Structure 1
Amino acid sequence: MAEESSSEVILVTGGSGFLGQHIVKLLQEKDPKVREIRILDLKPYVNHLDHKEQKLMKMIVGDIVDLEAVREAFRGVDCVIHCAALVSYSFPPDKEALDRVNVTGTRNVVSLCVEMGVPRLVFCSTSEVTLTPYMGGIHAMIINQTESKALAPSCDKGWKLLLPGYPASKLGAENIVLAANGRPLSNGHGQLHTVVLRPTLLYGEQDPHLVPSLIHLSEKMDSSLVRFGGSGGRQQMTYVGNAAWAHLCAKDKLLVTCPGGGIAGLPIFITDDTPVDDLLIFAQKVTTRADLPPRCCLSRWYIPALLAYMVAAIIELVVMMTRIPLSVPPCGIVAYLGSIVLYNRLRASLHLNYMPIFQPDETYSRSNKYYTKKKL
């Protein structure tokens, strides 16, 4: 058993992406059980994190939507860590493209796991699948809630989510993955065991979306971001390296399965010890250095939540009439920035044996070096 466990072949879909790169790095540097890492992505893998490359790495360029083109990547694999996704918050959302990649692509991954006899599947979702307005209001209120309290809506009610488009597509993919848990493998050797991880908003090196978008917006507004959505919002962020570590913990824990036990078939929130703060204030902290001008400053005043939401609704109406898309949903962003988002990671601690391996001082330092570069 020990010999078998020291020779795992791991396939990381989306391994060239933000989270995927950090997962590959940790598989290389912190997982002695792994002998081969396969990376399936639309673009070739580049080691931007300068990690060691002592273990065999195979790069497969392919699209998970094209089942035939990626089939061989799954042959002989012990576990798939599925991170490949279309991350888009554009308004109006391109539902067809999101469903094509995030839902159909995930369905293909599940099908190939069953067909090729892959016994374990770890799926990266998002905690945003649980963000719904509190008591019919504008904002969400997630205060120290576990998975049994912060429930996701049914798939056909994805339109109720605070942020449209992307989270709804990930919710659809979640349902496919969780429903596949326990499905017999085609080779007759056991069953497919699946788990869904729901990290909060991720930050850190190679972040292509979250903080860079705020930096670009700040630069357009003469380095001063106007605060809107009220003064009471607090959002929970997670360092990408810790989220990556959680995926390795889940991979290993899926080996320990029994009827009605283990983590198989569960969704699990992933957080770390990053201080919970207003997202815009957080962006200011991780983009400020003593020896450089600040990249993301905030106005001292803010637009009240209700007024901001009304203006956002008018903007969305104009967008729908003119058909000129925006990169983010105005109402969704206002609602999110005014929300309190604080998840409890008890399930991850108890069932994954997950603890963050990077502490806030280090995560801020690493992230600050990345975000304060001249070009992102």
Structure 2
Amino acid sequence: MTAGLTYVVTGGCGFLGSHIVDMLVERGKNISEIRVVDTKLRSYKSPERKGVNVKRIRGDVTDMAQMTEVCAGADVVIHTASLIDIIGLVSYTTLWDVNVKGTETLLQCCLNEDVPCFVYTSSRAAVGPNSRGDPVEDGDESTPYDSSCPLLPYGRTKAAAEAMVLQRNGRRTNGGKTLHTCALRPGGIYGGAGWSLIKMCQEFGMDIFSARPQKGISHPSVKDSPPYVGNVAWAHLLAAQTLVTSPQTAGGEAFHVADDTPVQNSATLYGVLCAPIGIRWDDSLALPLWLMYFIAYLLAFLSFLSKPFYTFVPRLTPALLTLANTTFYFNYKKATRLLGYKPLFTWEESKQKTWDGLVEWKARDFS
């Protein structure tokens, strides 16, 4: 492996991106510089390692001039920057511009600036669920699935960007190198202080610190197995290293990223993870599912009627209900076989780290 590699991590101040940066500093091989690119430069203390320079850069992945400068002289780009939206707060045009056109911009910069390795953070949503809510249990990358009717606009953008990334694998750069690309598909990532689950609950108006258990919108029979953020970051590091050392192994491939988090109903998982900060979850539905669908369709109709006069975005949508009530999870056997991936953190370690982060977050923001 070439010594003194330069990495670019887009979205590097975000939830997953910051964990990837920390993982590269702590465990990366032969890295001299990490360029952390984000539209908002969040202040947090990264671990330090002699010989590794972490440089934070304010930048927008849709800006060709900025990304050309960022990619100049780089060896690996890990592209995590993305807009995530599951209820329609962001217009489809904006989602497409950032998630698809932004990815296209970065790929072109890699070809122009002779960057040979590109790791894309895709999503399980790039595969499904589809609008019918067809389930997948313990699936893999070869599991047949009808993705022709995607459930979410977000999923459509991630699928389009992922396809573009994999199609660029093997392209010749301007300087005569070969661009090697791969995509990772995590889903429902948890862990870390200020965990996005809590923020989502607050967006839905839940009084998360009340004495009453929180009721959800997912039927108790629906199962999932989301990965811990540290394991997803570890998979990115291994994917990048594999593209550098053995590009024919991972180039042009997509990988589901999971870990050994128990397969269970989401309310059960959230109940375990949120227990140390006093948030209780009830695995029963807030309302009968048929009634929630009725309300969701009614809200969607009202949103349509009000569109000429007022932008009304319901927090409960039919697509969100279908997403929450579809068993849809995959294994990581292909990532193990081709990337050498095994979860770096056990379930017990992932749980403890999530507890520690949430306790710290509550003490800081709610004391």
Alignment TM-score, normalising by the size of structure 1: 0.88
Amino acid at match of 2:164: I
Unaligned runs of 5+ in 1: none
Give the 4+ runs in structure 1 shifted more than 4 A.
Answer: 220-223, 299-302
1:13 aligns with 2:10: yes
**Which residue number in structure 1 is paired with residue 322 of structure 2?**
335
- State the Cα RMSD in Å: 2.3
**Which of these residues, 48, 51, 60, is aligned with residue 52 of structure 1?**
48
AA paired with 1:350? R
| Pair 1:298-2:282 in alignment | yes
Match in the other structure for 1:143: 137
User: Separation in 2 of the partners of 1:152 and 1:206?
Assistant: 36
Q: Which residue of 1 aligns with 2:191?
A: 204
Q: Is the counterpart of residue 315 in structure 1 residue 291 in structure 2?
A: no
Counterpart Cα distance in 2 of 1:103 and 1:43: 20
The structural deviation recorded for 1:111 is 0.1
1:76-132 CA-to-partner distances (Å, cap 9, x unmatched) read 111100011112223265101101111110000000000000000000010111113
Correspondences of 1:1-376 after superposition (within 5 Å): 2=1, 4=2, 6-48=3-45, 50-54=46-50, 55-91=52-88, 93-133=90-130, 137=132, 139-151=133-145, 153=147, 157=148, 160-162=149-151, 164-188=152-176, 190-206=177-193, 209-214=196-201, 217-219=205-207, 222=210, 223-257=212-246, 261-289=248-276, 294-298=278-282, 300=284, 303-323=287-307, 324-326=311-313, 328=315, 330-372=317-359, 373-374=361-362, 375=365
TM-aligned CA deviation for residue 58 of structure 1: 1.4
Q: CA deviation at 1:221?
A: 9.4
- The answer to whether the Cα contact below 8 Å between 1:226 and 1:298 also exists between their aligned partners in 2 is yes
Partners of 1:224 and 1:299 within 8 A in 2: no
Q: Which one is further off, 352-361 or 300-309?
A: 300-309
Q: Which amino acid in structure 1 is aligned with residue 80 of structure 2?
A: C
Q: Report the secondary structure of 1:121's partner residue.
A: strand
The structural deviation recorded for 1:151 is 4.4
CA distance in structure 2 between the partners assigned to 1:327 and 1:306 by the alignment: 17
2:183 counterpart SS class: strand
Task: Write the distance in 2 (CA, Å) between the matches of 1:45 and 1:32.
Answer: 25
Q: Structure 1 314/220 Cα, relative in aligned 2: closer, same or farther at 3 Å? A: farther
Secondary structure of 2:170's match? coil
* Deviation of 1:308 (Å): 2.7
**How has the CA–CA distance of structure 1 residues 152 and 178 changed in structure 2, closer, same or farther, with 3 Å as cutoff?**
farther
2:218–2:285 Cα contact (<8 Å) kept: no
Q: Distance in 2 between matches of 1:18 and 1:311?
A: 32
Query: Aligned pair in 2 of structure 1 residues 60, 147: CA closer, same or farther (>3 Å)?
Result: same
Contact map agreement 1:142 1:341 (CA 8 A) in 2? yes
Matched AA of 2:206: S
Query: CA distance change for structure 1 residues 150 and 23 in 2, over 3 Å: closer, same or farther?
Result: farther
- Partners of 1:266 and 1:126 lie apart in 2 by 14
C-alpha separation in 2, matches of 1:348 and 1:196: 11
Q: Secondary structure at the match of 1:122?
A: strand
Query: Structure 1 residues 336, 21: CA separation in 2 closer, same or farther (over 3 Å shift)?
Result: same
SS at match of 2:100: helix
Q: Which secondary structure does the structure 2 equivalent of 1:288 belong to?
A: helix
Aligned-pair CA distance for 1:148: 1.1
SS at match of 1:39: strand
* Range 339-348 or range 297-306, more displaced: 297-306
Residue 59 of structure 1: SS of its match in structure 2? strand
Deviations 1:173-221 (A, max 9, x none): 1111111111111011x21010010012111114553343125643179
The Cα of 1:22 is off from its aligned counterpart by 0.4
Paired residue secondary structure (1:132): coil
Q: Note closer, same or farther for the CA distance 1:32–1:152 as it changes in structure 2 (3 Å cut).
A: farther
Conserved 8 A contact 1:80-1:121: yes
Unpaired runs of 5+ residues, structure 2, are none
Cα distance in 2 for partners of 1:110, 1:87 equals 20
Question: Would the aligned equivalents of 2:122 and 2:183 in 1 still touch at CA under 8 Å?
Answer: yes
Moved more, 88-97 or 268-277: 88-97
Q: Which amino acid aligns with 2:344?
A: I
**C-alpha separation between the residues in 1 aligned to 2:314 and 2:238?**
34
Give the structure-2-normalised TM-score: 0.90
